[in-house]
């Protein structure tokens, strides 16, 4: 009976104090590893799958644009000035 109580006491202290420390350490290492892997996967490509330019950073006060979408305006959209007029009749 004494051995069982001693084992129960040691088990309780291990679960209460040691296991949370070990779990905290394991989970933090796991998250750091995956955050590093995620950062490495996305640091090599720019948005839209284009490779990043290897140009130096812009000087202070200047703006650098990495991606400019192509303009796909149709001829009819350029002179659009409003909608079509619809006559309104009030119903009683």
pLDDT per residue rounded down to tens, the chain (92 residues): 999 999 999 999 999 999 999 999 999 999 999 988 887 776 655 555 555 556 677 788 888 877 888 877 665 556 666 777 777 787 77
| The CA-based dihedral angle spanning residues 72, 75, 80, 85, taken in that order and rounded to the nearest 10 degrees | -130
Q: Hey, where are the domains in the chain? A: 1-40
Residue 68's closest CA among 47, 89, 44? 47
DSSP-derived secondary structure letter, 70 = P
Distance from CA of residue 31 to its chain's centroid?
15
Phi and psi of 37, rounded to 5°? -65, -40
Contact between residue 53 and residue 64 where contact means Cβ atoms under 8 Å apart: no
């Amino acid at each position: 009976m004494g051995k069982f109580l001693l084992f129960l006491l040691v088990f309780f202290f291990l679960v209460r104090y040691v296991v949370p420390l070990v779990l905290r350490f394991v989970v933090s290492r796991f998250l750091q590893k995956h955050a590093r892997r995620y950062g490495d996967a996305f640091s090599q490509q720019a948005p839209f799958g284009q490779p990043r330019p290897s140009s130096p950073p812009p000087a202070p006060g200047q703006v650098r644009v990495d991606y400019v979408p192509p303009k796909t305006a149709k001829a009819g959209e350029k002179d659009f000035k409003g909608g079509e007029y619809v006559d309104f009749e009030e119903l009683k």
